[in-house]
Amino acid sequence: MIQNQIKFGWKAILWGKKRPFVFLFLLIVGVISPITPVNGTIGKPKWGFWAHQRINRLAIFTLPPEMLIFFKKHADYITENAVNPDKRRYAVAGEAARHYIDLEAYGDSAAYKLPLYWQEAVQKYGEDTLALNGVVPWAIQQYKSRLTEAFRQRDPRRILRLSADLGHYIADANVPLHTTHNYNGQLTGQEGIHAFWESRLPELFADNYDGFVGAATYESKVAKRAWQAVQQANAALDSVLRFERELSSRLPANQKYALEDRNGIVIKTYSREFSARYHQMLSQQVERQFRASAKMIGDFWFTCWVDAGQPDLTPLGNFSLTETDQQEAITEKQSWLKKLFTARSEGEN
Ligand SMILES: [Zn+2]
């Protein structure tokens, strides 16, 4: 039961940055608004981490045959583990900050003015300030370097793990609500919009998205590309908030929300009509960001491999995780859950 609650909660509301207690409270009392289980229990959703997983999988098929030989074999691993960074969000120090950047903290046009590179940013603002306001564009660069190194070492475990992680951060950087302090519409009376935009909408409509995003291409300006993703995501933020507000003012609440059966559990969620109209108003914005994420992930994986000297991955093609590897992964994931429940309020204010 707890396990199922956690699985549901991650995607539904876990957009707070330092709110493990709020999160736990919501789980315990079963109040996850606006996606609320009517009978007080929460079931495992079919779509929990759906978008991240779908994006990572899509990215695999942008790769050239020399990489596909390895990545395709481990497509399930890279897909399933696309969501690890969210799962360990409160369990691993420094993790939460890697998923977002609150641009408002740095004034006007911050996405164009902030230092491209981490060291410069640290010199200018200090690590504490940066960690407080999120570090996603720099995290992408850091994980790009780590993955390049893993390719150099021809270390299949690290390649898999870091590819899955890097895919997650890149996808996050492409989400408009990951670039703002108003990440869940909480400052504008639009609570719930985060999961609405990046879970509910893809769940309903991504089957119609164009899955061909082209072949991965080499990215010579990694830092710049990471920032471009943030700039483009942030440029879309105004529409994300404005259209939801406009549509909400036109539709009564009983048409905005609906009760849906999810694996035998009745939950309150955004109605299909509201979702369809909002999705249409956004004019393929979700699809654009979805596809841009997959393409960028493919480009970055490919670039890491090229920068590592294009190692022959054929010998790694036969690699498979041992039972010990798999058991260790399970134990690690359980420890993330455990730490979530024993989280202390350090950093809360
Ligand atoms: Zn994330």
Mean pLDDT of 305-333: 89
Span 256-282, average pLDDT: 94
Higher pLDDT, 30 or 243: 243
Distance CA 199, CA 283 (A): 17
Q: What is the pLDDT of residue 317?
A: 78
Residue 254 in this model has a pLDDT that exceeds 80: yes
Find the 15 Cα to ligand 1 centroid distance in Å.
Answer: 8
State in Å: Cα 38 to ligand 1 middle. Answer: 27
Residue 258 lies in a domain: no
pLDDT digits (tens, 9 = 90+) for 153-165: 999 999 999 999 9
pTM reported for the whole predicted model: 0.85
pLDDT at 292 over 70: yes
Instruction: State how far the Cα of 267 lies from the Cα of 332, in Å rounded to an integer.
Output: 30
Residue 165 lies in a domain: yes
Please indicate, yes or no, if residue 161 is contained in any of the structural domains.
yes
Average pLDDT over residues 246-269: 92
- Binned at pLDDT 50, 70 and 90, residue 272 comes out as very high
Q: What is the 3-state composition of the chain as percent helix, strand, coil, each rounded to the nearest 5? A: 65, 5, 30
119 inside domain: yes
The stretch 211-226 carries a mean pLDDT of 97
Q: How many structural domains does the chain have?
A: 1
What pLDDT shows up at residue 341?
67
pLDDT greater than 60 at residue 217:
yes
pLDDT value for 82: 95
Q: Residue 343's pLDDT band (boundaries 50, 70, 90)?
A: low
In the chain, beta strands by DSSP E: 36-37, 257-262, 265-270
Dihedral pair phi/psi, residue 267, rounded to 5°? -125, 160
Of 163, 176, 107, the residue nearest 136 (C-alpha): 176
How far is ligand 1, taken at its centre, from the CA of residue 315, in Å? 32
Q: Is residue 137 part of a domain?
A: yes
Q: Which residues of 240-279 are buried (b: 16+ CB within 10 A; e: fewer)?
A: bbebbeebbeebeeeebbeeeebeebebbbbbeebbebbb
CA of 130 to the centre of ligand 1 (A): 17
Which pLDDT band holds residue 187 (cuts at 50, 70, 90)? very high
- 44 has a pLDDT exceeding 60: no
Residue 346 placed within a domain: no
Residue 25: inside a domain, yes or no?
no
Distance 238 CA to ligand 1 centre (A): 21
Question: Which of these ranges, 15-29, 73-87, 213-227, 280-294, has the smallest mean pLDDT?
Answer: 15-29
pLDDT, greater one: 50 or 12: 50
Expressed in angstroms and rounded, the spacing between residue 11 Cα and the centre of ligand 1 is 9
Average pLDDT over residues 230-246: 98
pLDDT tens sequence across 104-143: 999 999 999 999 999 999 999 999 999 999 999 999 999 9
Residue 349 has pLDDT above 60, yes or no: no
Residue type, 44: K
Ligand 1 centroid distance, CA of 150 (Å): 22
Percent pLDDT > 90 in the chain is 71
Mean pLDDT across the stretch 21-31? 33
**% of the chain at pLDDT higher than 70:** 83
Is residue 36 situated within a structural domain?
no
Residues around the ion ligand 1 (C-beta < 5 A): 86, 99, 172
Q: How far is the CA of 53 from the centre of ligand 1 (A)?
A: 12
Q: Confidence class of residue 262 from pLDDT cuts 50, 70 and 90?
A: confident
Question: What's the domain range around 290?
Answer: 52-252+280-341
Residue found under tokens 């509201």: 274
Separation of alpha carbons 46 and 340, rounded Å: 23
Distance 72 CA to ligand 1 centre (A): 24
> Residue 104 carries which side chain, given as an amino acid letter?
E
CA–CA separation, 260 vs 346, rounded Å?
A: 37
CATH number of the domain at 286, please: 1.10.575.10
